[in-house]
Chains A and B, each alone.
Chain A
Amino acid sequence: MLLLHLARKSLTNRLLTTSLTALSIAFSVALLVGVENVRTGMRESFSNTVSGTDLVVGSRGGTIQLMLYAVFGMGSPVANISHDTWKEWDEHPAVSWTIPYALGDSHRGFRVIGTNDSFYEHYKYRGGQPIAFAEGRAAQSVFDVVLGAQVAERLGYVLGDRISVTHGMSAVGFMNHDEMPFEVVGVLEKTFTPVDRAIYVTLEGVTAIHMGWESGGPPMPGDEISAADVLAMEEVPVSQITSFFLGAESRAYTLQLQRDISTSEDEPLTAVIPGVALSEMWRGIGYAEDGLLVISGFVVLVGLLGMLVSIYTSLDARRREMAILRALGAGPRRIVSLLVLEAGTLSIIGALLGVAFVYVGLAALQPWLEGQFGLQVPIQALDGMQLMYIGTVIALGFVAGLVPALKAYRTALHDGLSVRI
């Protein structure tokens, strides 16, 4: 009790230095804990790019490649899936729903994805949030276009704008399908996933873009098909898609379905469980966050060194105080305890303050982080890892106090009751 009293009085007596020291520790701790929070948030956000989907299916190939083109809109598939094969799986008794994707075209650098109503109904991201419309409606007819939030923002399109779609992925494609007048009928809400960076049309729309291109090149003069021709068709045939998302009737069927699809004799296919593939991918690219963690570890060390220095430099001024305490009967061990207690108290205050900074900061920045980066940093109780960090900082604080305390111990023994300065 006496030591606590002395430590408190001594710390408050040097309020400016002690609060600066506590602040520097607080910032270190806030950084350390905050980085860990952001890390968790990034991992969660990434692994939840797509959710609710049990399998992602594409032509046979690498699982990462499949995830990249089907989920992240990067790279392209090696081969397509026939419409019939997709339909077969779509009607499979263990399958609840599928979302077909027909990829391959772009509009001013953004991917065009042919899909159907199932996309608007079943596609989920971030813990099961569904696709929602900022304005307009889903694409229904051949020339309807729905824009991802970022596409609408970047290109400045509004409902009713007419756009053309490029065959192939080049932004300045020289083979523009100018003859196909697509119309914007809907804009999606921001999702902070690759969904925002794509343009959605119907499967029939994608087929229409390619009519007359069956030979691989532009239609011969005279063979062009006009928009009016397409609209006049009773039904636009869809022969191929690129990949599809699949929701099983029950989670329990997922593994069996994955095996059946991957070993199907009809067509060589690959099926991936997205959650598994995403965490695998994160392990590959998440190392940058480890670097961040190492840096914030060093920041903590610097904060503690600052405390060490400030206690150490105050020691000479306190030699007289040590001598008085000794004369009044305090043993050297008590004097060591006093200094260690002061350092420990500083680091505890610093750590608590740091945690407070994190929560206040998160509360203040959470909407901005989500709005700007799609980063959902959860405000939650400290996890075991963070508690361990904080415990380590506090323990290091006590240890840092030990260094000047031992010097004070030797000085106190040497000075005895008089101080030779």
Chain B
Amino acid sequence: MVTDTPLCIDARDLSFAYAKGPPVLDIPELTIRSGERVFLYGPSGSGKTTLLGLIAGVLNPPPGTLSVLGHDIGALSSAARDSFRASHIGYVFQMFNLIPYLNVRDNIALPVRINSERKKRLTGRLDEEVASAASHLGIEQLLDEKVTRLSVGQQQRVAAARAILGSPELIIADEPTSSLDANRRHAFLDLLFANVADAGSTLLFVSHDLGLADQFDRSLSLPELNRAGE
């Protein structure tokens, strides 16, 4: 277990409520160290989406309560959060990960195109990096395909390739395996782990499937962390 690396995510007394609503999230403490592979268990309604939205800087936490990679997310402007997310975080969704009108190559390259800082982290030329990320995930022969022609498993691998491109420090995977069958689930996880290890990224993997927990360095249960809604 990694113990002496700097903190990647550091939440203290993090609470959040949507406008005029009751608090949906109230976390006294949550810390994840850089390089850790963390499994976050969260059934639906446990505030999982809200927590990920806060960490990714889509939602605005109170200042001083959430630090990601040393940045106080609550103190950043909305534009700064967008740029922070684009340059430091890779994101994999549960389903419907891809922009339907772009081909595989363009989908993988999208975050790098959105953010110039992410582009600076590339070690080679963009198309080479895209091809290399694709070959790591075994989809190099699909680069010019329309994403709507891919199977769900292939789509998830495209999403993973997109998330690891440019080696962001933090990769958030939001139920990426729930649409895969058991065999493909393990194959996908193995690929993801290998790539995360190569890039030296931190992995925050969210799922309601506790059966996957033992493959991670550490697992956390959101209902236990979250005091809101109790």
Give residues in A with beta carbon < 8 Å to B: 2, 5-6, 9-10, 12-14, 320-321, 324-334, 416-418
Check A416 against B49 for contact (C-beta < 8 Å).
Answer: yes
Check B49 against A321 for contact (C-beta < 8 Å).
Answer: no
A–B Cβ pairs within 8 angstroms, 22 of them: A6-B99, A9-B101, A9-B102, A10-B101, A12-B101, A13-B101, A320-B96, A321-B99, A324-B93, A324-B96, A325-B114, A327-B58, A329-B83, A329-B85, A329-B86, A329-B87, A330-B114, A331-B78, A331-B83, A332-B78, A334-B82, A416-B53
Check B82 against A329 for contact (C-beta < 8 Å).
Answer: yes
A-B contacts at CB below 8 angstroms, number: 74
Query: In the bound complex, how far is the Cα of B98 from the Cα of A13, in angstroms?
Result: 14
Check B82 against A327 for contact (C-beta < 8 Å).
Answer: no
Query: In the bound complex, how far is the Cα of B96 from the Cα of A320, in angstroms?
Result: 7
Residue on B nearest A420 in the bound complex, by CB: B49
Residue from A2, A9, A328 within 8 A of B91 (CB atoms): A328
Query: In the bound complex, how far is the Cα of B118 from the Cα of A10, in angstroms?
Result: 24
Which residues of chain A are near B122, meaning CB under 8 Å?
A: none
Interface SS of chain A: helix, strand, loop or mixed?
helix
Beyond known contacts A13-B100, A328-B85, A331-B78: 5 more, CB 8 A cutoff: A5-B113, A326-B58, A329-B114, A417-B49, A417-B93
Interface centre among A13, A330, A333, A417, by most chain B C-beta atoms within 10 angstroms, is A417
Residue on B nearest A412 in the bound complex, by CB: B58
**CB proximity of A421 to chain B, nearest CB, Å:** 11
Query: In the bound complex, how far is the Cα of B100 from the Cα of A14, in angstroms?
Result: 11
Identify the 8 closest CB pairs spanning chains A and B, nearest first: A329-B86, A13-B101, A331-B82, A327-B91, A328-B111, A416-B53, A416-B58, A418-B49
**CB proximity of A412 to chain B, nearest CB, Å:** 9
Check B49 against A328 for contact (C-beta < 8 Å).
Answer: no
Check B174 against A9 for contact (C-beta < 8 Å).
Answer: no
Query: In the bound complex, how far is the Cα of B101 from the Cα of A14, in angstroms?
Result: 9
Which residues of chain B are near A12, meaning CB under 8 Å?
A: 101
Chain B interface size band reads 20 to 34
Check A417 against B101 for contact (C-beta < 8 Å).
Answer: no
Check A417 against B91 for contact (C-beta < 8 Å).
Answer: yes
Which residues of chain A are near B98, meaning CB under 8 Å?
A: 324
Which residues of chain A are near B83, meaning CB under 8 Å?
A: 329, 331
Check A416 against B97 for contact (C-beta < 8 Å).
Answer: no
Say if the beta carbon of B110 comes within 8 Å of chain A: yes
Check A328 against B96 for contact (C-beta < 8 Å).
Answer: no
Which residues of chain B are near A326, meaning CB under 8 Å?
A: 58, 82
Residue on B nearest A418 in the bound complex, by CB: B49
Which residues of chain B are near A10, meaning CB under 8 Å?
A: 101
Interface centre among A320, A324, A327, by most chain B C-beta atoms within 10 angstroms, is A327
Given A325-B99, A329-B115, A330-B114, residue A416 in contact with residue B59 (CB < 8 A): yes
**CB proximity of B69 to chain A, nearest CB, Å:** 14
**CB proximity of A78 to chain B, nearest CB, Å:** 76
Say if the beta carbon of B79 comes within 8 Å of chain A: yes
Say if the beta carbon of B139 comes within 8 Å of chain A: no
Check A324 against B97 for contact (C-beta < 8 Å).
Answer: yes
Say if the beta carbon of B52 comes within 8 Å of chain A: yes
Query: In the bound complex, how far is the Cα of B97 from the Cα of A417, in angstroms?
Result: 11
Check B82 against A417 for contact (C-beta < 8 Å).
Answer: no
Residue from A325, A327, A333, A334 within 8 A of B56 (CB atoms): A327
Say if the beta carbon of B106 comes within 8 Å of chain A: yes
**CB proximity of B113 to chain A, nearest CB, Å:** 5
**CB proximity of B132 to chain A, nearest CB, Å:** 19
Query: In the bound complex, how far is the Cα of B52 from the Cα of A367, in angstroms?
Result: 69
Query: In the bound complex, how far is the Cα of B93 from the Cα of A249, in angstroms?
Result: 88
Which residues of chain A are near B89, meaning CB under 8 Å?
A: 329
**CB proximity of B23 to chain A, nearest CB, Å:** 17
Which residues of chain A are near B96, meaning CB under 8 Å?
A: 320, 324
Mark B45-60 against chain A: 1 for CB-CB distance below 8 A, else 0. 0000100110010110
Check B99 against A331 for contact (C-beta < 8 Å).
Answer: no
Residue from B56, B87, B99 within 8 A of A417 (CB atoms): B56
Residue on A nearest B89 in the bound complex, by CB: A329
Check B52 against A333 for contact (C-beta < 8 Å).
Answer: no
Which residues of chain A are near B82, meaning CB under 8 Å?
A: 326, 329-331, 334
Query: In the bound complex, how far is the Cα of B82 from the Cα of A208, in angstroms?
Result: 97
**CB proximity of B33 to chain A, nearest CB, Å:** 23
Query: In the bound complex, how far is the Cα of B87 from the Cα of A330, in angstroms?
Result: 11
Which residues of chain B are near A325, meaning CB under 8 Å?
A: 99, 114
Interface centre among B49, B99, B106, B162, by most chain A C-beta atoms within 10 angstroms, is B99
Query: In the bound complex, how far is the Cα of B98 from the Cα of A320, in angstroms?
Result: 9
Residue on B nearest A328 in the bound complex, by CB: B111
Q: List residues 56-89 of chain B with CB under 8 A from any CB of chain A.
A: 56, 58-59, 78-79, 82-83, 85-87, 89
Mark B164-191 against chain A: 1 for CB-CB distance below 8 A, else 0. 0000000000100000000000000000
Residue on A nearest B118 in the bound complex, by CB: A329
Interface centre among A321, A324, A334, by most chain B C-beta atoms within 10 angstroms, is A324
Query: In the bound complex, how far is the Cα of B226 from the Cα of A352, in angstroms?
Result: 57
Residue on B nearest A326 in the bound complex, by CB: B58
Given A9-B106, A416-B58, residue A2 in contact with residue B97 (CB < 8 A): no
